[in-house]
Amino acid sequence: MPLFILLLEDKEKSWSKCNLCKRERRKMWGVIRQKMSTGSSSVLVLGQRIRPAACAFRNYSSPAKEINVREALNSALDEEMSADPTVFLMGEEVGEYQGAYKISKGLLDKYGPERVLDTPITEAGFTGIGVGAAYHGLKPVVEFMTFNFSMQAIDHIINSAAKSNYMSAGQLSVPIVFRGPNGAAAGVGAQHSQCYASWYASCPGLKVVAPYSSEDARGLLKAAIRDPDPVVVLENELLYGESFPVSAEVLDSSFCLPIGKAKIEREGKDVTITAFSKMVGYAIKAAEILAKEGISAEVINLRSIRPLDRATINASVRKTNRLVTVEEGFPQHGVGAEICTSVIEDSFGYLDAPVERIAGADVPMPYAANLERLAVPQIEDIVRAAKRACYRAESVASTA
């Protein structure tokens, strides 16, 4: 019993920071929880005491006009599950534990274990089962604890989900959502820190979205759940706790964003900066710094990686004549490479400077904090690249 409380407190304190040992810890939990569900009545009493404690540590206390990304995702799931009885959530720890990152908080209580499924630890298993359920008319939302673990299930995401509608000539649609944190978190090393945007975005049959703000998170997740095709929703762990102002329209349960449309987060005329997910925030901050130096940067939040909003990107480049792409993923065959190609194809004549590509370092993510910082794009990198594009600093060649 004391051991149990300790575990709980420990978990509450550190769940948002350290997810590396989550797999280890949840194994311990697994044993205790099984005991709770199969054991004697005294154990059940204890079980009932734990649940409120676990729920109480985070309340929806934010004012109506500002919510964090976690609340945005949670409310989007809640509203879509409430609106459509065929929507259900499955994944590791999504039920009793309310999600490794608490995205599914309160949903088990509200919708019951038939619609909020805790699965065994087999990504390939529950992804395949999700696809099968989608074949037969349900709309599964499959949570990966991180998209790094989706690699164990990529066969089902690509070969089963993405291709079935085409292979069956439209007889088998797969309305399924794959969601979870993607990209670099903090201090969790190579197997928790990769961005899979370009991987999934290279596959026809899939749609891929990457929300940045609370508005994005609500609008894109709702769109993904309502979409008849398989959609990959790439969230970011470090954004979950970040708050953003939202309008009443965004908070309305009918709110939804179109998949395939980018958003101009900040208008500008000198240089276009494209980014998605956490990097949008960095790009906006870089634009603020650039503004002080007299450079007006236009920041495009891609929102959708596939389909890619080539029209918005190209219209912006035709206006600013300069382009900097930003992503956390690896540079080779990355999202930036694709954007660069689209601009070369459609707006080559408008470019006044070489396209600058800011990406993660071409190495697996190192753990040590000093090296880790060097491996992901920083605001200064974006500022420098934008200045180079505007010929306001030394060129890459001369600094190299």
Partner 1 sequence: MALWLRKSLKTINNFKSMMGMINHSSSSPSPSFNQNLRNPPVIFIDSPTYFSSHRYESTRAEKQSDSVYGSHCHAQVMDFPGGKIMFSPVMRFISESTQERVHCYQVLDDNGNPITGSNYVQVSEEVALKMYSNMVTLQIMDTIFYEAQRQGRISFYATTIGEEAINIASAAALTIDDFVFPQYREPGVLLWRGFTLQEFANQCFSNKADYGKGRQMPIHYVSKRHNYFTVASTIATQIPHAVGAAYSMKMDKKGACAVTYFGDGGTSEGDFHAALNFAAVREVPVIFICRNNGWAISTPTSDQFRSDGIVVKGKAYGVRSIRVDGNDALAMYSAVHAARSMAISENKPILIEALTYRVGHHSTSDDSTKYRPIEEIEWFKVVRDPVTRFRKWIENRGWWNGKLESELRNTVKEELLDAIQVAEKVEKPTIAELFTDVYDVSPSNLRDQEKFLRETIKRHPQDYPSDVPL
Catalytic residues: 123, 192
Cβ distance 36 to 47 under 8 Å? yes
Q: Which is nearer to partner 1, 140 or 183 (CB)?
A: 140
Q: How many residues does the chain have?
A: 400
Please state the closest distance from residue 34 (CB atom) to partner 1, in A. Answer: 4
Q: Which of 82, 168 has the CB closer to partner 1?
A: 168
CB 293 to partner 1: min, Å: 37
Cβ 148 to partner 1 shortest distance, Å: 18
Q: For residues 144 and 244, which CB has a smaller minimum distance to partner 1 in the complex?
A: 144
Nearer to partner 1, 75 or 165 (CB): 165
DSSP code string of 197-255: HHHHHTSTT-EEE---SHHHHHHHHHHHHH-SS-EEEEE-GGGTT-EEE--HHHHSTT-
Looking at beta carbons only, is 125 or 187 nearer to partner 1?
125
Task: Return the residue matching tokens 């949840």.
Answer: 26
Beta bridge partner(s), residue 143: 91, 179
Sign of CA dihedral 158, 99, 304, 199: negative
Cβ–Cβ under 8 Å, residues 300 and 316? yes
Count CB-CB contacts under 10 A for residue 133. 20
Q: Shortest gap between Cβ of 124 and partner 1 (angstroms)?
A: 5
Closest CB 311 distance from partner 1, rounded Å = 8
Least Å from the CB of residue 156 to partner 1: 6
Considering only CA atoms, which of 399, 386, 315 is closest in space to residue 355? 386
Q: Coil, helix or strand for 332?
A: coil
Beta-strand relationship, 271-275 and 231-235: unpaired
Beta strands in the chain (DSSP E): 66-68, 87-91, 116-118, 139-143, 177-181, 207-209, 231-235, 243-245, 263-266, 271-275, 297-301, 304-306, 323-326, 356-358
Binding positions for partner 1, rule: CB under 8 A: 1-4, 31, 34-35, 38-40, 42-43, 46, 114, 117, 119-120, 122, 124-138, 140, 155-156, 159-160, 164-173, 204-205, 207, 227-229, 260, 307-308, 310-311
Beta-carbon neighbour count of residue 211 at 10 Å?
Answer: 30
Choose between 87 and 246: whose C-beta lies nearer to partner 1: 87
